[in-house]
């Protein structure tokens, strides 16, 4: 009888503890979270170009605008664009009902999440990963209202910068300068051609003009992006750590901290072999085509600051 009583109590406790377990489990089931993914109609801004073309300076200037946020490089957007292009070609994608539309929706949503959520929210979201400039037609299809800023800079200054600052850039072999010029030519040809074909949604910005005529250039950029010019864009350095997020891991961080200056214009002078410079028109014909003086080993960049700079540009340049 006594034993029975104990058993009864044990059974009751067991039931109670079972109920408790169920109750705890119920409490742990989370509400299904609703996640908001921005539409691919967003008027995104992309900043790209060959690394060392002033892409970080450009995005810092835009970040200083109160309604724009670019933030640091995501590093993954150009890689993702490249992966998705190879998935599209594979057989499984063709045999699984994953149509081009399904793929575009998924890819644009994925990239939008990264772009929107890796930094503060803003009216105009922007992304700066230099090599998106090789994917303009894809970006235009994924984000039909997006605009692209293509940074262009003298190849001699770019290659000097990669070598001197030891910036590793895929495709550039720093022990072979000729190969570097050839690679620059291949990439800039692709980028400028795509920019030209983007039907007014891509703006070429020459680094040499941006740093010599900052106000005029920034106003031109604002007009293109359909945003109001803001004086703060001329003083991006004052907003570092506030509007302009800058990581010490970025190779250009130490330079972008400064106000816009002309020093990097000529830093490559006297650094290349004369024989190499004399072959530039063959190694990198786009340099001349883009308006750079390839005759001189110490060219003047005054032309890029001239009032009639845009009047005599050819289709490519
Ligand atoms: P140098 O290495 O020749 O000095 P990116 O950000 O595309 O990699 O470009 C880096 C180049 O932009 C660097 O060239 C750097 O000096 C230049 N740059 C960055 N901030 C600048 C500023 N405030 N004024 C002028 N040039 C700047």
Residue 63 belongs to domain with CATH number? 3.40.50.300
pLDDT at 316: 57
CA of 99 to the centre of ligand 1 (A): 42
Q: Residue 72 pLDDT more than 50?
A: yes
The helix or strand, by DSSP H or E, that contains position 212, with its residue range, turns out to be helix 207-212
Q: Is the CB of 156 under 6 A from ligand 1?
A: no
Whether the pLDDT of residue 22 is over 70: the answer is no
Confidence of residue 249 (pLDDT cuts 50, 70, 90): confident
Expressed in angstroms and rounded, the spacing between residue 55 Cα and the centre of ligand 1 is: 8
* In the chain, % of residues over pLDDT 70: 87
Residue 75, in any domain of the structure:
yes
How many independent structural domains does the chain possess?
Answer: 1
6, part of any domain: no
Q: How confident is the model at residue 98 (pLDDT cuts 50, 70, 90)?
A: confident
pLDDT at 81 > cutoff 70: yes
Residue from 58, 132, 255 whose mutation best tests the ligand 1 pocket (most atoms within 8 A of CB) = 255
Within 13 A of 290's CA, how many CA atoms are on the CB side? 26
Q: Give pLDDT, residue 313.
A: 72
Please give the DSSP secondary-structure letter assigned to residue 259: P
Residue tagged active-site, from 31, 42, 73, 237? 73
d(CA 112, CA 77): 10
Q: Which letter, b or e, does each residue of 54-79 get, where b requires 16 or more Cβ atoms within 10 Å of its Cβ? A: bbbbbbbbbbbbeebbbbbbbeebbe
Q: What integer best gives the mean pLDDT of the chain? A: 89
Q: Is 83 among the domain residues?
A: yes
What is the Cα gyration radius of the chain? 27
Q: pLDDT: is 13 or 218 the higher one? A: 218
pTM for this prediction? 0.89
DSSP tag of 244: B
Q: How confident is the model at residue 12 (pLDDT cuts 50, 70, 90)?
A: low
Region 28-56 average pLDDT: 87
Model confidence pLDDT, tens digit, residues 267-313: 999 999 999 999 999 999 999 999 999 999 999 999 999 999 988 77
**pLDDT score of 4:** 44
Q: How far apart are CA 26 and CA 6, in angstroms?
A: 30
What spacing in Å lies between the alpha carbon of 122 and ligand 1's midpoint?
A: 25
Atom of ligand 1 nearest to the CA of 259: 23
The whole-number pLDDT of residue 37 equals: 85
Q: Is residue 2 very low, low, confident or very high in pLDDT (cuts 50, 70, 90)?
A: very low
The verdict on the CB of residue 264 being under 6 Å from ligand 1 is yes
Ligand 1 lined by 256 (C-beta under 6 Å):
yes
Instruction: Kindly state whether residue 224 falls inside one of the protein's structural domains.
Output: yes
Residue tagged 């059974």 (tokens): 11
- The response to whether residue 211 sits with its C-beta less than 6 Å from ligand 1 reads yes
**What is the pLDDT confidence band of residue 243, given thresholds at 50, 70 and 90?**
confident
Q: How far is the CA of 11 from the centre of ligand 1 (A)?
A: 76
Please tell me the residue having the least CA distance from ligand 1 atom 2: 161
Whether 39 is covered by a domain: the verdict is no
- Taking the C-alpha atoms of residue 172 and residue 189, their distance in angstroms, rounded to an integer, is 16
* 243 labelled catalytic: no
Res. 29: pLDDT tops 70: no
Pocket test for ligand 1, best of 172, 256, 305 (most atoms within 8 A of CB): 256
- Of the pLDDT bands very low, low, confident and very high (cuts 50, 70, 90), residue 188 is very high
Average pLDDT over residues 187-196: 97
What does the pLDDT look like over 111-132, one tens digit per residue? Answer: 999 999 999 999 999 999 999 9
The residue among 89, 106, 254, 286 whose CA lies nearest residue 183 is: 286
In a domain, 23, yes or no: no
User: Does 27 reside within a domain?
Assistant: no
Enclosing domain of residue 279: 45-304
CA of 141 from ligand 1 middle (Å) equals 31
Instruction: Establish if 117 belongs to a structural domain.
Output: yes
Q: Is 118 exposed, middle or buried (0-12, 13-18, 19+ CB in 10 A)?
A: middle
């Amino acid at each position: 009888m006594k034993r029975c009583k104990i058993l009864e109590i044990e059974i009751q406790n067991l039931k109670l503890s079972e109920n408790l377990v169920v109750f705890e489990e119920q409490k742990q089931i989370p509400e299904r979270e609703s996640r908001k993914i921005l539409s691919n109609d967003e008027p995104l801004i992309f900043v790209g170009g060959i690394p060392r073309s002033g892409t970080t300076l450009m995005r810092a200037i835009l970040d200083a605008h109160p309604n724009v946020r670019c933030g640091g490089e995501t590093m993954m957007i150009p890689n993702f664009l490249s992966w998705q292009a190879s998935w599209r070609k594979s057989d499984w994608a063709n045999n699984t009902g994953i149509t081009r539309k399904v793929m575009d929706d998924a890819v644009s949503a994925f990239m939008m999440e990264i772009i929107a959520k890796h930094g503060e929210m803003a009216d105009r979201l922007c992304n700066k990963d230099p090599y998106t400039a090789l994917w303009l037609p894809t970006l235009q299809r994924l984000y039909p209202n997006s605009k692209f800023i293509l940074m262009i800079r003298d190849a001699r200054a770019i290659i000097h910068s990669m070598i001197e600052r030891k910036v590793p850039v895929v495709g550039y072999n720093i022990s072979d300068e000729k190969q570097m010029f050839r690679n620059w030519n291949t990439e800039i040809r692709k980028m400028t051609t795509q920019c030209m074909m983007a039907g007014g949604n891509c703006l070429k910005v020459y680094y040499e003009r941006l740093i010599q005529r900052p106000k005029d250039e920034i106003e031109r950029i604002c007009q293109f992006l359909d945003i109001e010019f803001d004086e703060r864009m001329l003083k991006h350095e004052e907003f570092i750590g506030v509007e302009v997020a800058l990581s010490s891991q970025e190779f250009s961080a130490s330079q972008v901290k400064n106000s816009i200056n002309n020093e990097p214009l000529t830093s490559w002078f006297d650094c290349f072999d004369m024989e190499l410079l004399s072959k530039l028109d063959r190694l990198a014909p786009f340099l001349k085509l883009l308006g750079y003086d390839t005759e001189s080993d110490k060219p003047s960049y005054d032309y890029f600051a001239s009032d009639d700079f845009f009047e005599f540009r050819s289709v490519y340049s």
